[in-house]
Amino acid sequence: EVQLLESGGGLVQPGGSLRLSCTASGFSFSAYAMNWVRQAPGKGLEWVSGLSGSGGSTYYADSVKGRFTISRDNSKNTLFLQMNSLRVEDTALYYCAKGLASSNYGFDYWGQGTLVTVSS
Amino acid sequence: QSALTQPPSASGSPGQSVTISCTGTSSDVGGYNYVSWYQQHPGKVPKLMIYEVTKRPSGVPDRFSGSKSGNTASLTVSGLQAEDEADYYCSSYAGINNFVFFGGGTKLTVL
């Protein structure tokens, strides 16, 4: 059974940093691209970042480019999102999502999410 | 970057069919066959319902179908059931520089 478990969320002041983690199980982690998708309270979904199975290719939404860094440790089946220079508008539930076998443009498994609140 | 355009709401009676549209541009929906649809019940995790425009993951009822014409993709739910009441989001690949866009979401109400 595929499982994705996010952690690392919390309350942080504007300009601060957080590092999110997503621990995966139930599939061959290194074979799949992985992504972060966020959902602000009461709002829709926003893709944030993705990276290839090897970690060699990374992609970012314009809204986080230059501030967030996605990475993975395939030896520990773990995905990360380093978030710097956080803004109030980054407040959201952050989901870890697994890319499809056929492409990384659809996400077939999602974690429960970890809440990030940016507020002074 | 711009989100894909979805109607904010849609509705239908049990047993009826309803279609939700997702309008993009030739740089996303119209340019690639990588449109996905997700169902999200309140307080729950999104669930993949359709991928690559028309494909259904294992376990998704065949009452759910996807299509695309030009820059607009559509999700059709046939034989509406009460449990289909949820928010539905489309997404599309948008090229190497923009990657993936989501639509704003459509709240489907089963009357």
Please judge whether A47 and B101 are an interchain contact, meaning their C-beta atoms are less than 8 angstroms apart. yes
Give residue-wise pLDDT tens across range B22-35: 999 999 999 999 99
Task: Give the chain B residue whose CA is nearest to the CA of A112.
Answer: B45
Confidence of residue B94 (pLDDT cuts 50, 70, 90): confident
Are residues B1 and A59, on separate chains, in Cβ contact within 8 Å? no
Return the pLDDT at A2.
96
Q: Does A99 touch chain B (CB under 8 A)?
A: no
Express as a percent the part of chain A with pLDDT over 70. Answer: 100
Is B102 close to A45, i.e. CB distance below 8 A? yes
- Measure Cα distances from A82 to A15, A51, A69, A114, A119 in Å: 13, 13, 5, 14, 18
Residues in B touching A63 (Cβ below 8 Å): 1
B48–A47: do the CB atoms touch at under 8 Å?
no
pLDDT in tens, A33-92: 999 999 999 999 999 999 999 999 999 999 999 999 999 999 999 999 999 999 999 999
Task: Determine the average pLDDT of the residues in A91-103.
Answer: 94
Closest residue of chain B to A59, computed from CA coordinates: B99
CA torsion sign for B98, A68, A21, A43 is negative
Q: Which residues from chain A sit within 8 angstroms of residue B38, using beta carbons?
A: 45, 107
CA distance A61 to chain B (A): 7
DSSP string, B2-32: -PBB--SEEEE-TT--EEEEEE--TTTTTT-
Assess contact for B8 and B63: CB atoms under 8 A: no
Summarised one tens digit per residue, pLDDT across range B23-82 is 999 999 999 999 999 999 999 999 999 999 999 999 999 999 999 999 999 999 999 999
Query: How many CB atoms within 10 Å of residue B87?
Result: 20
Mean pLDDT, rounded, for A20-34: 96
Q: Report the pLDDT value the prediction gives residue B95, as an integer from 0 to 100.
A: 82
Among A108, A89, A111, which residue's Cα sits nearest to residue A32?
Answer: A108
In chain B, what residues touch A60 (CB-CB under 8 Å)?
99
Whether A100 and A106 have beta carbons less than 8 Å apart is answered as yes
Rounded Cα distance between A82 and A103, Å, is 24
What per-residue confidence (pLDDT) applies to B10? 97
pLDDT at residue A9 greater than cutoff 80: yes
Q: Are the Cβ atoms of A110 and B89 closer than 8 angstroms?
A: no
In the predicted structure, residue B96 carries a pLDDT above the cut 90: no
Q: Cα B3 to the chain's mean position, in Å?
A: 13
- The answer to whether the CB atoms of A105 and B100 lie below 8 A apart is yes
pLDDT (0 to 100) of residue A73 = 97
B97 pLDDT more than 90 = no
pLDDT band at B3 (very low <50, low <70, confident <90, very high): confident
Does residue A114 surpass a pLDDT of 80? Answer: yes
pLDDT above 90: residue B2: no
User: Quick check: B1 pLDDT over 70?
Assistant: no
* Residue indicated by tokens 């290194």: A30
**Chain B residues within an 8 Å CB radius of A35:** 100
Is 70 exceeded by the pLDDT of residue A20?
Answer: yes
| B11-22 residue pLDDT tens | 999 999 999 999
Per-residue confidence (pLDDT) for residue B61, from 0 to 100: 96
Whether B98 shows a pLDDT value over 80: the answer reads: no
Contacts of B79 by beta carbon, 8 Å cutoff, 6+ apart: B15, B16, B17, B63
